[in-house]
Amino acid sequence: MKKYLVFFFSIFFSLNAQSSINKEIVSHLEKINSLEFKFIQKIDNNNIEKGECIILYPKKIRCKYYDIYNKILVSNGKSLIINSDKIKNYYRYPLDKTLLNFILDKKFLISKMNEVESDKNYPLHHVFKFEHENNLIKVFFDKGSLDLIGWETKDIYQNLIQTFLSDVNINITVEEKIFYLQKYIN
């Protein structure tokens, strides 16, 4: 009987601690309005891209890639464009047809994080893994600061995309005009 009580209490306290961590991360995320960071993006472990981004919630992002083609990715909250010196035209997508639509939607992330527990298979990060519209999405948070530090998704071609953030600054002042799409169209 004693073994069962010890087992019950250890499970109970473990679940309680996990639930507390989830609440802390959600509370921290709710207070964030903007992010600035550097990133490394791996696509199917073959292609590595680097750059810097600014996110303004909800659903706005501007990323400059460190490459010879001056690649840029911008969302105004409705559309997403990708442009570079390498392509003759820019690519434009409805944001709601991309997985970035979910990553850039704080309310969506919080609702999903309230439904699942952090995956314990990751010793260095708090990782929330959930499926939405047949897409697996993983979101990574730093165990110390509780800041968003990355995500993992699959693109429309089923390539695994891992994005890792560094030098994260939260609640920076951001001018809305950096998200005007016309500014980035050839």
pLDDT at 120 over 90: no
Answer whether 104's CB lies under 8 Å from 179's CB.
no
CA distance 100 to 59: 8
For the domain with range 2-184, which CATH number is right: 1.10.1060.10, 2.50.20.10, 3.40.630.40, 3.40.640.10? 2.50.20.10
> Residue 51: its pLDDT value, please?
98
Residues 128-148 have pLDDT tens digits of 998 888 888 999 999 999 999
User: What tens digit of pLDDT does each residue of 64-103 get?
Assistant: 999 988 899 999 999 999 999 888 788 999 999 988 999 9
Q: What per-residue confidence (pLDDT) applies to 56?
A: 97
What is the share, in percent, of the chain residues with pLDDT greater than 70?
89
- 10 Å CB burial of residue 88 (0-12, 13-18, 19+) is exposed
